[in-house]
Chains A and B, each alone.
Chain A
Amino acid sequence: MCLRIILISFFLILFFHQGSNATQINVGKQFSIHSIQKAIHQSSNGDTIIVNSGIYFEHNLIVDKSIKMIGINYPVLDGEHKYEVVSIKSSFVTFSGFKIQHSGYGTLIDPAGIKIYDAHKVTISDNIIDDTFFGIYTQNGKNCVIKNNQLRSYGKQEQEIGNGIHCWKCDSMQIIGNTVSGHRDGIYFEFVTNSIIWRNISTDNIRYGLHFMFSNKDSYITNLFRNNGAGVAVMFTTGVKMFNNTFEENWGDAAFGLLLKEISDSYIINNKFRKNTVGIYMEGASRCEMQKNIFESNGWAIKIQASCMDVTVTKNNFFGNTFDVGTNGTLVLNSFNSNYWDKYEGYDINEDNIGDVPYRPISMFSVIIEQNPPAMILFRSIMVSLLDKTEKIIPTLTPENLKDETPLMKSLSL
């Protein structure tokens, strides 16, 4: 009996304590508090701050308590081109529904629209971030969610602009449904592990749509990367899963749909590469599986350097690429099997949908171009077609082993 009373009163105290603690603070012209920073000072952990529409000049807004910040009708936080707009220095913060604009500029302190310092379980969602140096910058974060934000910047040169969503030394991050354009790199990962990048759209960035370094065991799924300066780069990483992404219209000398450098144990499945100068460029990649991708209208579908090994390219569709595969040496430690190549001219007598003669995806002319780029001017001339035809019969310049032994007669329905 005594115990029961004690228990009930304990829960009652707990209940009232919680209730009194989770207060809601309104900020806006019509309320007594006009400054967001002041509201944060007055709040305590677990509170909710509702910010009503209007324009706020808070210099550098510091969020150092575990609170929920919600903007109504996108209140504007303006950094006046001088300050980092929002700094989140506490865990368990939710920050959503704001419009953040005009952050400061500087390569030494890297000011951002929103920067997360050493925190976990922070949620940044549904914000509009316009004209900032860095967009959303996370350093040493864990279990943070960055969701449905729209980031737009107006960089002209690589040195003058930061990255859209920048994560450094993080773990278990979720980057979902964001739209990034006009930054240096759309999404940048360095030392980020066990994270997911899902349903983002990264277009028209100056350097890479997505830039990945030393970030193991991450996945990126169903993203769109279009018309970025140099496509997408994944470097010095192991265990990356790339599923169902679209890489489009990355044009230029050093532009690739997807650049893989020193990658191992990774999976590239169900992606679409369209109209890139080079669909996938691989250097020092090992143990990677490429399956069920579509390569369409690229200059080179795949450029695979001789430094790659154990890369398996199976069951992909190749349509209308100028060159299917390019390489820089004669050593081939990779396999190309059971793909559909629209340039395949072989036959299939037993009608099992597998061509009876192997397909050599490297044409002689692509080897010539590799050695002597200006020779591109001779492409599709009769001389070159003749050379290619003779090379197909008696391979001399092209690597003997690079061939698809079981090319498909019909394209895969992907």
Chain B
Amino acid sequence: MNKVIKYVVIDILRSKIVLAYTFILFIISFSVFSLEDNTAKGLLSLLNLVLFIVPLVSIIFSTIYVYNSSEFIELLLSQPLRRKQIWLSLFYGLSASLSLAFLIGAGVPLLIYEPTVTGLIMAIVGSLLSVIFVAIALLAAVSSRDKAKGIGVSILLWLYFALIFDGLILFLLFQFSDYPLEKPMMVISGFNPIDLSRIVILLRLDVSALMGYTGAVFKDFFGTNVGFVTALSVLVLWVIVPLKLSLAKFKRKDL
């Protein structure tokens, strides 16, 4: 299995896309911090990067990679290897290279300019998001044989998590504005890994505003250690569940 992971990682590195991604992240993060006069504003710009570009690159790159290596997968299947091993190796290889790319590209500047808990949390959350969207990409790729359809599905999924979900929440909030929605909102935010990551970081950046009545409800939960651990475990669930689903599909898939 380690050998397969090694092949996957070497293959990814050879295509140079991930290297370019690392480089671009690195340049953006450094320029964001050196352009703004206070690091708080740099952090905010970087937050948009983490919530917008990282999921997009992870999901699209992984989907395309899985489709492109279908022949490699078929070759591996002819070897005495279990399907589970092959699929997990793909996942490990992809998530290792993408989260490493994020940690080097954005995590290092982050920890240089903002060596605080906030910076650390942002680095952790960013790499978790990379892994989550690799898992979601695997699920999208395994669900269809057609490459165009698979990539389309993954783009739609990204759009849903990054934009449409928030639009729906805003709609719900205004439709049911007569009801106390603070607590349901916390549960609902768990259904979107991007939202959950954003809230975890928000509690660090905008704590003054969040101490208002409604914000205090979020702060009382996510701001505590228990809440933070819960949020992180929900994020980990977002890795495990799509991965398990895709694995189950891949095992039964007629190649």
- Given A381-B166, A382-B162, residue A374 in contact with residue B210 (CB < 8 A): no
Q: How far is the CB of B217 from chain A (nearest CB, A)?
A: 8
In the complex, the answer to whether A379 meets B163 with C-beta atoms within 8 Å is: no
Judge if A372 is at the interface, Cβ distance under 8 Å: yes
Q: Are A377 and B212 neighbours in the complex by a CB distance under 8 Å? A: no
A299 interfacial contact with B, CB 8 Å = yes
CB nearest to B169 among chain A residues: A378
Inter-subunit contact A299/B173 (CB<8 Å): no
Q: Contact check: which of B167, B181, B205 meets A374 at CB < 8 Å?
A: B181
Residue A149 CB within 8 A of the other chain? no
B202 touches A380 (CB 8 A): yes
Contact of A342 among B41, B166, B194 (CB under 8 A): B41
A115 to B220, CA, bound (A): 41
In the complex formed, the residue of A with least CB distance to B179 is A374
Distance between Cα atoms of A322 and B40 in the complex (Å): 11
Q: Which residue of A lies closest to B214 (CB)?
A: A373
A7 to B170, CA, bound (A): 93
A297 smallest CB distance to B (angstroms): 6
**Given the contacts A379-B206, A381-B198, A382-B52, A373 and B212 also touching, CB distance less than 8 Å:** yes
Please report which residues of chain B, range 30-86, place their CB below 8 angstroms from some CB of chain A when the two chains form the complex.
38, 40-41, 44, 47-48, 51-52
Task: Check A74 for interface membership: any CB of B closer than 8 A.
Answer: no
A252-B216, A374-B181 known; A381 vs B51 contact (CB < 8 Å): yes
Chain A residue at minimal CB-CB distance from B44: A380
- Contact in complex: B208, A376 (CB < 8 Å): no
Interface flag for A276 (CB, 8 Å): yes
A contact residues around B1 at 8 Å (CB)? none
Q: Does B156 contact A (CB under 8 A)?
A: no
The interface residues of chain A lying within 8 Å CB-to-CB of B181 are 374
Question: Is B114 located at the chain interface by the 8 A CB criterion?
Answer: no
Count the A residues whose beta carbon is within 8 Å of the partner chain — how many? 35
Quick check: B214 and A382 within 8 Å, CB to CB? Answer: no
B215 within 8 A of A: yes
The answer, yes or no, to whether B248 is at the interface (CB within 8 Å) is no
Q: Is B24 an interface residue (CB 8 A)?
A: no
Point out the residues of chain A lying under 8 angstroms from B211, CB to CB. Answer: 251-253, 255, 277, 299
Known contacts A252-B216, A255-B211, A381-B198; A374/B166 CB under 8 A: no
List residues of chain A with CB within 8 A of the CB of B198.
Answer: 380-381
Verify if B225 is at the interface (C-beta below 8 Å from A).
no
Closest CB in chain A relative to B145 CB, distance in Å: 32
Chain A CB within 8 A of B199 CB: yes
A29: shortest Cβ distance to chain B, in Å? Answer: 52
Tell yes or no: A320 within 8 A of B by CB.
Answer: yes
Interface residue? B20 (CB, 8 A): no
Q: Is B177 part of the contact surface with A, judged by Cβ < 8 Å?
A: yes
B41 surroundings in chain A (CB, below 8 A): 320, 342
**Residues B144-199 near A (CB distance < 8 A):** 162-163, 166-167, 169-170, 173-174, 177, 181-182, 185-186, 189, 194-195, 198-199
A-B contact pairs, 10 of them (CB 8 A): A276-B208, A277-B211, A299-B206, A299-B208, A342-B38, A373-B214, A376-B209, A378-B169, A380-B205, A381-B194
Per CB-CB distance, the 9 closest pairs between chain A and chain B, nearest first, are: A299-B209, A253-B213, A322-B209, A373-B214, A383-B166, A299-B208, A251-B211, A322-B206, A374-B181
Known pairs A377-B189, A383-B166; list 8 more (Cβ under 8 Å): A298-B208, A298-B209, A299-B206, A299-B210, A320-B40, A374-B185, A376-B209, A378-B166
